[in-house]
Amino acid sequence: MKLRQRVAMPRGAVVRKARATLNAMAAAALAVVALVVMGLIVVVGGAALWSLATGPGDVAHGALYAPVVLASPILLLWAIQGLADVQRARIRLTAGVEITTPSTDNRRWPLGPWRSVTTWRALAFHLATVGIGGVGGAAVLACWLSPVLVVAWVLAWHLPYPVLIASEFIALVLVVVAGRLAVLVTGWDLWLARALLGPSRNEELARRVETLAQSRADIIKATDAERRRIERDLHDGAQQTLVSLAMNLGIAHNTMTDAPEPARQAIADAQDEALVALAEMRALVRGLHPAVLSDRGLDAALSGLVARTPVPVRLTVDVPSRCSPSVEAVAYFIVAEALTNVAKHSSASRAEVTVTRDGDQLRVIIADDGHGGATPTTDGSGLRGLAQRAASVDGTLTIDSPAGGPTTITAELLCGS
Amino acid sequence: MRVVIAEDSVLLRAGLTKLLTEGGFEVVDAVPDAEALLRSVTAHTPDLALIDVRMPPTHTDEGIRAALVIRRQHPSVALMVLSQYVEERYATDLLSAATSSVGYLLKDRIAHVTDFLDAVRRVAAGGTALDPEVVAQLMVRHRTDPMDRLTPRESEVLRLMAEGRSNHGIVEALRVSPSAVEKYVTNIFAKLDLPPTDVDHRRVLAVLKYLQSA
């Protein structure tokens, strides 16, 4: 997502300069308006405060000035925020640049927003723009109007004709410069607006992180859904067809009792091959997504997994309420991969899998009494894959596997539900 | 022998119907989901229901749940459950509700037509037919049980018994003498407190008792 969207500027230097001029003058006008409005509030509020402090102190006096004193910070806040909105609208309209409105942190009125850095940045903009937008815009206007101003000046002071000619010449140079100056002033104006009216760097990063986290979660969810879909398709399609094929070959083998022996042998071989294909398909489908996981949760899915592991495994699952499907899948595949490692590489005689949920945290521990020495860089150990799986749901994976063993792999995941 | 088939794949439904019909069964109904199965069992009260685990609408464990309902409402109907994969949890659910006239096989087993039809007949006659893989999973799951009273060799014999092997079959599988196998079997029955009655049924009871002891 782009934070600022640049609306295409119309092509052509003349148009560009005209727009810049418009923007610079609008900036100048608004700078003055802002200064006047805020100044009035401060002056009136200050005067009321002064009167309250130095006045006679009777009830009527207090009743007159106290509300003014109390109202002025609120009015000033309104002015600062309202004017900031107006300035952003002005930049969108005249410069064609979208400045994202920073969050106001949802702080509570009337004084909460005063603690927000956004408010002070907006105030800083209103003050700084007097120098940049105000003076700059005025200068641009003066340059454009210089030929007229020169005539007025010469006529007012009854200066000689050659002075008029010379001055008009200078004025023409100023007119030529005016467009460039407007572009320059608009550049400074935009720089200032981006720095002070847009989201701060922290806020921008925070938004970015939020967006990335969301899009990553979406991708993981979509990937999970896709794996489930493929699993379903294979189960309903290829697997059933293979079963049917093996069954028909079985029927053929049984009924063709008087067929020549080579034919019967070929049918028997074909049947065996169909069964091998079926077994391979089953392993593949299970690796995609175990249906029992969606259906009965981690305990049931891990029970099946543990039961298929050649090494004896003690399984303890204490998860009172289920985690999100993505996290359950990550936990399942971490245990699956870890137990595959135990069986393949560790020479362990037994292993222990413990899954507990503590608040929002799901802790998965796989321990074995093998020879240890497992590191994420060990080829084919799949430990890197485990760490990546854990990281994909903001989890962590710790591997404690000194040479000589034992090995303990701990995954800590956020349940997300 | 009257059979109702519940299987969502059209191909397999037709194949199973043909297979069972040729095997001498009368297929009274073949339905695509669990709800239709329950209606059909109520309507026909068959001798056996052949049930696929994964059926619409959720494609998870409809078949197991339907089997449990049938066992509760129509205890006389034998149950043969088929699945593309076996889950320890499904097997436990099924066996906790039914210890006779029940079977749980991988669909692969259909390919060995004669064995499969034998298994269906056995279940219809009140016996059991557990897939070797089901038994293996259940045994593995319970082998860390501290209450374990069987020696590893006895466990192995028990596993083979659970698969439906005869003593002769166990002799061949383990390459030991018939008298040794008889001794193991006697020890197992003794350790699991099973009095000598109907021999075949006692073998199944031994397995189920062992599995339920954890």
Q: Chain A to chain B, count of Cβ pairs less than 8 Å apart? A: 104
CA distance B90 to chain A (A): 9
What number is the average pLDDT over the span A391-407?
88
Strand, coil or helix: B129: strand
Strand, coil or helix: A361: strand
Determine the residue of chain A that is closest to B139 in CA distance.
Answer: A307
d(Cα A269, Cα A157) in Å, to the nearest integer? 116
Amino acid at A255: T
Residues 6+ apart with CB under 8 A from B85: A282, A285, A286, B106
**Is residue A19 within 8 Å of A11, Cβ to Cβ?**
no
Determine the residue of chain B that is closest to A300 in CA distance.
Answer: B89
Strand, coil or helix: A50: helix
ipTM of the complex model: 0.77
**Is residue A7 within 8 Å of A98, Cβ to Cβ?**
yes
Q: Which two tokens stand for residue A129?
A: 């723009």
**Is residue B55 within 8 Å of B34, Cβ to Cβ?**
yes
Model confidence over B201-212: pLDDT tens digits? 666 667 766 666
Whether B111 and A286 lie within 8 Å, measured CB to CB? no
Whether A304 and B9 lie within 8 Å, measured CB to CB? no
- Residue A1 confidence (pLDDT): 41
Residue B197 phi, psi dihedral angles, 5° rounding: -130, -130
- Residue B154 confidence (pLDDT): 82
- Residue A3 confidence (pLDDT): 47
Determine the residue of chain B that is closest to A284 in CA distance.
Answer: B85
Residues from chain B that touch A240, judged by Cβ atoms under 8 A, are 9, 11-12
Residue A296 sits at the chain B interface (C-beta within 8 Å): yes
Residues from chain A that touch B108, judged by Cβ atoms under 8 A, are 243, 246, 275, 278-279
Strand, coil or helix: B5: strand
CA distance B87 to chain A (A): 6
What number is the average pLDDT over the span B82-87?
87
Of B12, B58, B90, nearest to A243 by CB-CB distance is B12
Residues from chain A that touch B63, judged by Cβ atoms under 8 A, are none
Residues from chain B that touch A309, judged by Cβ atoms under 8 A, are 140
Tell me the sheet residues that pair with A318: A356
**Is residue A311 within 8 Å of B97, Cβ to Cβ?**
no
What number is the average pLDDT over the span A14-27?
84
Q: Which two tokens stand for residue A141?
A: 């206007």
CA distance A351 to chain B (A): 11
String of DSSP letters for A125-152? HHHHHIIIIIIHHHHHHHHHHHHHHHHH
Q: Which two tokens stand for residue B196?
A: 């000598």
Model confidence over A212-264: pLDDT tens digits? 988 988 888 898 889 889 998 998 889 999 999 999 999 999 888 888 999 99
d(Cα A34, Cα A29) in Å, to the nearest integer? 9
Residue A295 sits at the chain B interface (C-beta within 8 Å): yes
A228, A231, A234, A247, best to mutate vs chain B, most B CBs in 10 Å: A247
Which runs of consecutive H residues, i.e. helices, occur in A55-92? 59-90
Model confidence over A55-76: pLDDT tens digits? 776 777 777 778 888 888 888 8
Residue whose tokens read 């137990």: A339
| pLDDT class of B145 with cuts at 50, 70, 90 | very low
d(Cα A285, Cα A415) in Å, to the nearest integer? 25
Tell me the sheet residues that pair with A214: none
d(Cα A118, Cα B72) in Å, to the nearest integer? 68
The single-letter DSSP state of residue A321 is S
**Quick one: which of A388, A233, A386, A417 has its CA closest to A320?**
A417
Whether B137 and A308 lie within 8 Å, measured CB to CB? yes
What number is the average pLDDT over the span A167-181?
84
Pairing of the two strands B102-106 and B128-130: parallel
Q: What residues of B are in the A interface, CB distance below 8 Å?
A: 8-9, 11-12, 15-16, 18-19, 22, 54, 58-61, 84-90, 107-108, 110-114, 116, 136-138, 140-141, 143-144
Mean residue pLDDT across chain A: 85
Q: Which two tokens stand for residue A412?
A: 């800590």
